[in-house]
Chains A and B, each alone.
Chain A
Amino acid sequence: MSDAPNDLPEATGHRLEELEKGLFTSDLSVNEFLLIKEIGFHPVGFVMGSSIYHTGIQTRKWSQSQELTKLTEAMYNARELAMTRMEEEAAELGADGVVGVRLDVNYYEWGKDAAEFIAVGTAVKAEDGVSRRNALGKPFTSDLSGQDFWTLHSTGYAPQGLVMGTCVYHIAHRGLGQTLSTTGQNVELPNFTQALYEARELAMTRMQDEATRLGASGIVGVRLEEKSHQWGSHTIEFLALGTAVTKGADPVDLATPVTIISLDH
């Protein structure tokens, strides 16, 4: 989406140098840390990328449902910048991938249209020295927890990348006549239904396209988020996020799960 500039700030150098000397940092819990060690990975460092981005202005028509391409583009670009910077940090550490990736958007007082897009996660490296990078030769990314990562590996799947699709959509307001004619009735509102459908479809399709580019066989843990950010009630961002996975060549024997009754509450 964006032409990734290799532009990590200078201060990053010192932090990454310390990490290269053997110290690791990680936002994994102890359980997640042990599970990741269990399948032969070692955390190498807490990596992050961020971009503070100003979104432009786009005119919307009060009574027309339409995608707001300029806003969609901004959401894509800014997230892409943050993700790419996080991947660069991971690559610098010689990592095979990044697990537990979180993507967030923060709004500050610096300006109404300025938002910070941030991506953080824990870079991991295979202990056997065999590269586990994805089809594009980059560290894989995934928003799966340590537990999910362990399960995925135990069943012979490998994550390829965090894939996303987004669509900022303006949903038309209903005219006065329409509103009056449906008062007191049970009736579907086709214009709203259609607009929401189309926006979701666009977001999902874009996510699938990204997975196809990575040569993935499926996407797990898909989340569909709908946010109005600061655009008012009729403009909504549909964001689809998931981890693209491929099935490994080796057959896997998964032990039959044990059934338990937990005494916890």
Chain B
Amino acid sequence: MSATPEAPDLKAVVRRALAALEAPGTESAPTTSDLSIDEELALHSIGWEPVELVSGVSLVSIPVGWWNWGQGEITAAAEAHRHAFANAITRLHREAARAGGHGVVGVRIERAVHPTHVEVALVGSAVRPVGASLAGWETVGLCVGASFVFAPRRSVGAVLGQQTQNVELTNFTEAMYAARETAMTRMQDGALALGGTGVVGVTVEEGPMGFASHAVGFVAIGTVVRPGPTGHQRVAPITVVSLDDAAVSFDARTLE
């Protein structure tokens, strides 16, 4: 992810809602967050508190005609995807900053690629530190990489020739690899640009695009981390035997 594009202005209604939070006397104002009670307690125990539920949304259009026929990468789609994420993240940051947050946790990512546009919605809880906090590892941000490529069609001769054989379809394998490598590299570049030393919790989503049979997509999303001021700290886990009732693993009624 290179330079973040300038996001359009927030809607007036959003601005009013945020202005209300900045108004004097907000010290005791109620805070909103989508964290569970456990999560909120855990947050307080490390000297942080939630301030506001924040979101960032962006829809970016893809020019018509890119999905149908061609070869190599579908650059317009990848560019739209990158743009949509960059916009949504910028807006999320902006909302969090206005609410006085220093970061956003528990971000839910809703993402969809349509033939004509890419849609990204991020919702999370803005948090700020209230005391001294020790950090073994710090989270730096989200990193995303996406790539869409055409899988070349096989010739009729090849299809017939391979009909009865066990054989690897090298052109498809190569297309999948190209999409994967490009997307993963973009994700890594994003992590390096944020000054991270690692990416944890990477999730990948891959497969053919439902609306274009010969296009495949690969999207990787992860959280960028780097060692904090104290460096890595041992967690020294202990082994426990839980006395909770075991979950039912066999149910005779499921046999039919």
A120 vs B204: C-alpha distance when bound (angstroms): 10
CB distance from B226 to the nearest CB of A (A): 10
Q: A25-B198, A110-B172 are in contact. Are A18 and B241 (CB under 8 A)?
A: no
> B interface, how many residues as a size bin?
35 or more
Q: A23-B197, A38-B235 are in contact. Are A111 and B176 (CB under 8 A)?
A: no
Q: A9-B181, A50-B177 are in contact. Are A57 and B164 (CB under 8 A)?
A: yes
By secondary structure, the B interface counts as mixed
A54 vs B243: C-alpha distance when bound (angstroms): 49
Interface residues of A in 38-54 (CB under 8 A from B): 38, 43, 46, 48, 50-54
Q: A25-B222, A109-B213 are in contact. Are A54 and B202 (CB under 8 A)?
A: no
A30 vs B200: C-alpha distance when bound (angstroms): 7
> A interface, how many residues as a size bin?
35 or more
* Residue A106 lies at the interface, judged by CB distance under 8 Å to chain B: yes
* Residue B242 lies at the interface, judged by CB distance under 8 Å to chain A: yes
Q: A11-B181, A46-B202, A52-B173 are in contact. Are A25 and B243 (CB under 8 A)?
A: no
* Residue B114 lies at the interface, judged by CB distance under 8 Å to chain A: no
Query: Is there an interface contact between A53 and B167, defined as CB atoms closer than 8 Å?
Result: yes
CB distance from A44 to the nearest CB of B (A): 10
Interface residues of A in 77-121 (CB under 8 A from B): 77-78, 81, 106, 108-111, 114, 116, 120
Stretch at the interface among A157-165, A182-190, A208-216, A250-258: A250-258
Query: Closest residue of chain A to B136, judged by CB?
Result: A34
Chain A residues with CB under 8 Å of B216's CB are 108
* Residue A175 lies at the interface, judged by CB distance under 8 Å to chain B: no
Chain A residues with CB under 8 Å of B154's CB are 110-111
* Residue A151 lies at the interface, judged by CB distance under 8 Å to chain B: yes
CB distance from B149 to the nearest CB of A (A): 11
Query: Which of A28, A109, A114 contacts B169 (CB under 8 A)?
Result: A114
Query: Is there an interface contact between B240 and A260, defined as CB atoms closer than 8 Å?
Result: yes
CB distance from A100 to the nearest CB of B (A): 11
What are 17 A-B contacts defined by CB distance under 8 Å? A23-B199, A25-B187, A25-B198, A25-B202, A26-B201, A27-B201, A27-B203, A35-B235, A52-B169, A52-B172, A74-B166, A108-B208, A108-B216, A116-B172, A254-B239, A257-B241, A261-B242
